[in-house]
Copies of this chain bind each other. A is one copy, B any other.
Amino acid sequence: MAGARKPAALEEPGLEQVGLGALEHSAGLMLRIAQLTAFERFFALFGESEIKISEFTVLMAVAENPGIRQGVLADVLKIKWSNMTKLVRTLEERGLVARHVPRHDRRSVVLSPTDEGRRQIEKSGEKMYRLDREALSMLTDAEHDQLIALTRKIAGWPPISER
């Protein structure tokens, strides 16, 4: 019927006989394809919802770091500042996070979760983690841990043990 024929299910596209030759050793490309696959699967599981996954991620990050500057959060999550502005405004309008301009640096904006925001996390947090893991259910627990270790290293974050 439409352009993309797959009904947003969890099927295999099935590389079949394609094969990308040397391209398959490009970790950058593979990283991207894997990421898109993972998100496709996640969204298929997650379905429609009020809050976007990017918004929920920011909300959770804010709850974990109350008083964080919005630009710092943007950099950590690799969200562009101009997008973060819009995203945070949405969260504020929904009463999930509060923006506050600190007296000592009136250029900046720091964020904290509202009670409603905390409630939202309480309500949906567990589901997020469950679906995130399920989207990657082709990996064993050991492989899952390996993936987290590798991605941390790529992102330049310290290994879990050192924190």
Number of interface residues of A (CB under 8 A): 71
Docked CA distance A143–B152 (Å): 12
Closest Cβ–Cβ distance, residue A163 to chain B (whole Å): 7
One of B34, B65, B132, B160 near A154 (C-beta < 8 A): B34
Asked whether A154 and B133 contact (CB < 8 A) given A18-B68, A20-B61, the answer is: no
Of A74-82, A97-105, A108-116, the one contacting chain B is A74-82
Our pick among B27, B37, B60, B152 for the contact of A155 (Cβ within 8 Å) is B37
Binding site for B on A (CB under 8 A): 3-4, 12-16, 18-40, 42, 57, 60-61, 64-65, 68, 72-73, 75-78, 80-82, 125, 128-129, 132-133, 135-136, 138-139, 143-144, 146-148, 150-158, 160, 163
